[in-house]
Amino acid sequence: MTKIPVIHATESTDSSNKVNLLGMSKADLGEFFVSLGEKPFRATQVMKWIYQFGVTDFFEMTNISKKLQQKLDEVACVLPPKVKFKQFSEDGTRKWVFEVSGGSLVEAVLIPAEDGKQFGRKTLCISSQVGCALDCSFCSTGKQGFERDLDASEIIGQLWVANQSYMEDVAPTERENRVTNVVMMGMGEPLLNYNPVVASMSLMLDDHAFGLSKRRVTLSTSGVVPKMYDLAKDIDVALAISLHAPNDELRDELVPINKKYPLADLIAAAKAYVYEENPRHKKHVTIEYVMLAGVNDSDEHARQLVTLLKDLPSKVNLIPFNPFPHAPYDRSSNNRIHAFSNILNNAGFVCTIRQTRGDDIDAACGQLVGQVADRTRRAKKWQESIQKRQDHA
């Protein structure tokens, strides 16, 4: 198993410079308590208060001594990223914009199951970077450019805040985590921020933290092939691939990282993830495929996709394109999407069509950008190039 470097606590962003316990692993937290002259088991106690009950005030942690409560209050804090603003959609979708250290902004989106049940499925889409370096041509977030990686506290803090939004009026010891599923599918490419992402997912799975099932935590990648092999060795979570094209020529255009890691390498890494590196019996890879009218949605494209995936246990999730200003694409028609889906279903694949949610708050797939500042000016330059082409058309 590849050894993951220790993720130490990050300093809080307030003036006190206390050690932020949010994002620390159980082992690191145990070492922290030893450094205070305490037993390592205190880590388990404090983790439960932080993650299961959403408590940040050490004086509310009733099973630790008054002396330790006072000591923790002096040297430590539990500091999630600051909520800059939040929006709740009429369909139940929730979106948060977080301000992280340095003033950067990132977003997370929670999508509840359509049944509307209080304790039904609630899936949180989490960001791993400020912006994204990959510049996929159909993604609004990619047009913002890349600013920096998020640390573990900033990643796991998004889940902490989402759960807290269901806990605010409940007594601490009566609280229950409501987020049932997490997808590392927000802003950024998770495998390009590897160590903090794996550390955060480990907390999601830890029974003393969020205790999510490994099948309910999904990492989505555009195809950083070497890190896919590392991931298979380091943690057992579900894998999704942002594919979007069934051949290299088209994928080079839509997902530029394909030029470095072409489809043959990507599919080989996906097979290794399922079978070879850490065998996952009866498991599959989710294939994400955005539907772009007249670009990748023909019957021939569907048949090419069937051939590409024939030996890879997979299910396909078709995603209607979500337009954004100056985007050079249109959404495929419902009839075209269903025709594409039928070809896959008839070939024996499980193929679903994602229902677009959160349109009224720009919370749909590919729209995670909102109020995020474009410090690289990539979006402005891209919009200027679109305007020039239109002026000369």
pLDDT at 6 over 60: no
Half-sphere exposure of 85 (CA within 13 A, CB side): 5
* Among candidate residues 104, 109, 112, the one with its CA nearest the CA of residue 132: 104
Rg of the chain over CA atoms, in angstroms?
Answer: 22
pLDDT at position 12 is: 39
Give dist(CA 175, CA 171) in Å, integer: 6
Q: Which two tokens stand for residue 332?
A: 């495929």
Q: Which two tokens stand for residue 54?
A: 């959403």
Q: pLDDT tens digit string along 92-143?
A: 899 999 999 889 899 999 999 876 566 688 999 999 999 888 888 888 776 6
**Cβ-contact 221, 228 below 8 angstroms:** yes
Mean pLDDT (whole number) for 77-102: 91
Give dist(CA 213, CA 236) in Å, integer: 10
Give dist(CA 381, CA 116) in Å, integer: 42
Calculate the average pLDDT of the chain: 86
Q: Which two tokens stand for residue 9?
A: 């606590």
- The predicted model scores a pTM of 0.86
Q: Which of 77, 139, 351, 365 is catalytic?
A: 365
Q: Which of 107, 147, 189, 288 is catalytic?
A: 107
- Catalytic residue status for 365: yes
Give dist(CA 169, CA 16) in Å, integer: 28
Distances 276 to 124, 221, 269, 316, 327 between C-alpha atoms, Å: 29, 19, 9, 22, 40
pLDDT at position 77 is: 97
Q: pLDDT tens digit string along 237-265?
A: 999 999 999 999 999 999 999 999 999 99
**Cβ-contact 179, 124 below 8 angstroms:** yes
Alpha helices for the chain (secondary structure H): 26-35, 42-47, 66-75, 152-164, 194-205, 225-234, 248-254, 263-271, 299-308, 334-346, 378-391
- Catalytic residue status for 139: no
Q: Which two tokens stand for residue 219?
A: 């990492």
* Among candidate residues 251, 337, 250, the one with its CA nearest the CA of residue 293: 337
